[in-house]
């Protein structure tokens, strides 16, 4: 089975531009999580979905950030407009909380975003 897939792996953009990060969770997983990792703040949960429905977006830093999950196999995280302080590694993770599961989250390889 393929793991969590993220694209692009690297993104360099200029301040003010729109950035879209993409994620394909593991097939059959019913939860999807978006994280941001920086040296200063560590690993932060931005938002997560259950069965394509956003459950908790309290970690989304501000209105410039938005996330969608139009179907069970695809999610996007959009930043518009982007700012230099958004530079970070963004991870997508998925999990399955069926019977016998352990709340284990499987992470994608991350997208390194640089905003100039």
Partner 1 sequence: AQTVTQSQPEMSVQEAETVTLSCTYDTSESDYYLFWYKQPPSRQMILVIRQEAYKQQNATENRFSVNFQKAAKSFSLKISDSQLGDAAMYFCAYSPSGFGNEKLTFGTGTRLTIIP
Of 33 and 65, CB closest to partner 1 = 33
What's the rounded Cα separation, in Å, for the pair 24 and 7?
Answer: 9
Residue 16: CB minimum distance to partner 1, A: 27
Q: How far is residue 29 CA from its own chain's centroid?
A: 15
Question: φ and ψ at 26, to 5 degrees?
Answer: -70, 135
Of 25 and 110, CB closest to partner 1 = 110
Q: Are 15 and 83 in contact (CB under 8 A)?
A: yes
- Residues in touch with partner 1 (CB under 8 A): 31, 33, 42-43, 45, 48, 50, 55-56, 89, 91, 93, 95, 97, 102-107, 109-110, 112
Residue 51: CB minimum distance to partner 1, A: 12
């Amino acid at each position: 089975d393929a793991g969590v897939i993220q694209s692009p792996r690297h993104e360099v953009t200029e301040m003010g531009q729109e950035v879209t990060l993409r994620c394909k969770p593991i097939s059959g997983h019913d939860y999807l999580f978006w994280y941001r990792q920086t040296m200063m703040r560590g690993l932060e949960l931005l938002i997560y979905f259950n069965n394509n429905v956003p459950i908790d977006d309290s970690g989304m830093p501000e209105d410039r950030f938005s996330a969608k999950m139009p179907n069970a196999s695809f999610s996007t995280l959009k930043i518009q407009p982007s700012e230099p302080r958004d530079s970070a590694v963004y991870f997508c993770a998925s999990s399955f909380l069926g019977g016998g599961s352990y709340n284990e989250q499987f992470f994608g390889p991350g997208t390194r975003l640089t905003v100039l």
